[in-house]
Amino acid sequence: MTSSPEAAPAGSAGLFDDVAFDVFARRCASRSALENITGRWGVLVLAALHDDTYRFNALRRRVDGVSEKMLAQTLHTLERDGFVVRTVQRQIPPRVEYSLTPLGRDTSAKLLELIGFLEHRMDEVVAARDGYDSARD
Amino acid sequence: MTSSPEAAPAGSAGLFDDVAFDVFARRCASRSALENITGRWGVLVLAALHDDTYRFNALRRRVDGVSEKMLAQTLHTLERDGFVVRTVQRQIPPRVEYSLTPLGRDTSAKLLELIGFLEHRMDEVVAARDGYDSARD
DNA sequence: CGGGATCCTAGACGATACTG
DNA sequence: CAGTATCGTCTAGGATCCCG
């Protein structure tokens, strides 16, 4: 195996010492990949695509608040990283569908777990916020 | 229990219909909470704190690339949301330790799963990037 | 319908300096 | 050591227009 310039520096393995990538290292490729899937819109797009394939505007409606520009940009990034597949059906009007790769599906499963967990324990978060805020009016 | 203005609009439950929070809703409190834990520095801080308690500057060294300002800001946000605890020991020089609440620990466990999964499959991501980039030089 | 191109602003972010 | 304060930069992100 040749050396990968994007991997973590040799000898600085992070959480898992059996892999060459370390998100804690600033320049490691896994850091940017993590940012892409946990980014503001990345998480939501991946989570949405876990259940269904979506067309652009349907996805835009599903991910409440995303602009056209950011949705397009997010989809490009996720496609480049191998999480999302873009399928074009030439016809009038054009029909473009977005779905997940196997990698994307496994990733979104993890994200869905996180989201489900968070939604189930949001009452604790809300309580913490209330306490924190009222403690310093 | 009184009605919560931050919860998802009634009738618009998202992924999990047994909770009142929906990250897909723009104004739901769970959306901002999700952003706080999956944000650029939030993930890494929570992941770092899963194993150890850290002092400010040690954490700064651990999370490669974070600035003082962003670390302080991230810690404040996570403390407010009830994920992180700040413990001050008055002495000279001052000693301040950051650790996780039970909620924070459960959350970081999920994040660690995601990170581990990603690092283990980064070769697929790297390959996808190579293919994508060479396809349109 | 699916987006690319442009323009613009708010806020994210980093570097530095300073305080207890 | 553990921050806060200030300032400047930069880019994420929104609004708009337009084309196939």
pLDDT at B10 over 60: no
State, as a whole number of angstroms, the distance between the CA of B2 and the C1' of D11: 41
pLDDT tens-digit series, residues B124-133: 999 999 999 8
User: What six digits make up the tokens of A6?
Assistant: 């994007």
CB spacing of B30 vs A106 below 8 angstroms: no
Which of A75-79, B1-5, B48-52, B75-79 shows the lowest per-residue confidence on average (mean pLDDT)? B1-5
8 A C-beta contact, residue B68 and residue B60: yes
B15 pLDDT band (50/70/90 cuts)? low
Strand D contact with B56 (CB < 7 A): yes
Q: Which residues of chain A have pLDDT under 50?
A: 1-6, 10-11
Using alpha carbons only, give the angle A75, A108, A9 rounded to the nearest 5 degrees. Answer: 80
Using alpha carbons only, give the angle B46, B117, A123 rounded to the nearest 5 degrees. Answer: 40
Which of B6-10, B114-118, B123-127 shows the lowest per-residue confidence on average (mean pLDDT)? B6-10
Percent of all residues in chain B with a pLDDT value above 70, rounded to a whole number: 86
Stated pTM of the model: 0.90
CB spacing of B33 vs A122 below 8 angstroms: yes
Strand C contact with A90 (CB < 7 A): no
Chain A's closest residue to B13, CA to CA, is: A119
**Average pLDDT score over residue span B66-88:** 95
Q: Which of residues 39-68 of B touch strand C (CB under 7 A)?
A: 39-41, 65-68
CB spacing of A128 vs B82 below 8 angstroms: yes
CB < 8 Å to A63, chain B: 24
Q: Which site among B119, B126, B136, B137 would you substitute to test the A interface, given the most A Cβ atoms closer than 10 Å to its Cβ?
A: B119
Separation of alpha carbons B22 and A115, rounded Å: 9
Q: Which site among B16, B22, B64, B67 would you substitute to test the A interface, given the most A Cβ atoms closer than 10 Å to its Cβ?
A: B64
Q: Given this model, what pLDDT does residue B43 score? A: 97
Please compute, for residue B70, the number of CA atoms within 13 A of its CA located in the half-sphere on the CB side.
Answer: 14
Separation of alpha carbons B26 and B36, rounded Å: 15
pLDDT tens-digit series, residues B79-89: 999 999 999 98
